[in-house]
Amino acid sequence: MDQPLTPLIQAEELIGLNPSSYILVDTSFGKANYEEKHLKGAVYVDLNTQLSDIKSDAADGGRHPLPTPQQFSERLGDLGITPDSHVIVYDNKNGGMSAARFWWMMKAIGHKKIQVINGGLNAAIAAGFQTSNESVNPTPASPYPIEGWKLPLSNIAEVEALSQKESHIVVDVRETDRYLGKVEPIDLIAGHIPGAINIPFSENLETDGQFKSPDELKEKYQKAFGDTSSENIIVHCGSGVTACHTLLALAHAGMEIPKLYVGSWSEWSRNGKTIA
């Protein structure tokens, strides 16, 4: 029986794999970045059109709502991804943009063989992985069989009901200045959800963009969470993308994956909710 894959793969380990044994996915934000330079053989996946179902009003689900399982099923089929595929994903933000979101979505449909390159594009290049500016067109497969999202999700009503209860923890992973309401470069209102604590996702990384060790991350989050069980922890960010970076860090640390509030601050701040 094969050993379960770790959530992260080192760039050096990737180089040692047969390219025909995995599907490499670039999720860097903006296709222009992919077209300028990407890891050789990588297909492109777009956050806005393939990993989200963006609506005209961000008050309904935030800036990057999840696609329906049926939509995601078809998009994975278009990419040639099947339940047996070993999928390796990266972005140009050390997993902090879309790679972790894609990882979470794959885990949430029950996919077994999904990994994120530790350190992303830069780490792979530094390790000697070849780059290219030629687009890769995947060979389509049948729609991926999806029964639904299997990882825990939260919503605005639940967050409002639980954010200030001692039995629950809501984690805001945005930069501290955004959490404190000092700046807000994206959404309409500055501040944070009342009762939420701030653990910026950037703190999951070393200065070189690599994730901190599992032991260090486990110690950090166990201290923050105390005895609170994962089902009573809700993680959010601005629009449900970088929150997945923290969920990836927790998985890397061998901890249970808490609930993801996809709508996040972009939804909360547009619904007349109390602001702290």
Question: DSSP labels for 220-248?
Answer: HHHHHHTT--GGGEEEE-SSSSTHHHHHH
Q: For residue 67, give the DSSP letter.
A: P
Residue 237 bears catalytic tag: yes
Structure tokens belonging to residue 266: 């972009």
The full set of domains in the chain, from first to last, is 8-132 (3.40.250.10), 153-268 (3.40.250.10)
Q: How would you write the pLDDT of the chain (276 residues) with one tens digit per residue?
A: 467 899 999 999 999 999 999 999 999 998 999 999 999 999 999 999 999 999 999 999 999 999 999 999 999 999 999 999 999 999 999 877 799 999 999 999 999 999 999 999 999 999 999 999 999 999 999 999 999 999 999 999 999 999 999 999 999 999 999 999 999 999 999 999 999 999 999 999 999 999 999 999 999 999 999 999 999 999 999 999 999 999 999 999 999 999 999 999 999 999 999 999
Of residues 237, 241, 244, 253, which has the active-site annotation?
237
Q: From the centroid of its chain, how far is CA 198?
A: 18
* Pairing of the two strands 259-261 and 233-236: parallel
Instruction: Count the Cβ atoms, other than its own, within 10 Å of residue 249.
Output: 27
Q: Are 219 and 213 in contact (CB under 8 A)?
A: no
* pTM listed for this prediction: 0.97
Cα 58 to Cα 74: distance, rounded to the nearest angstrom: 24
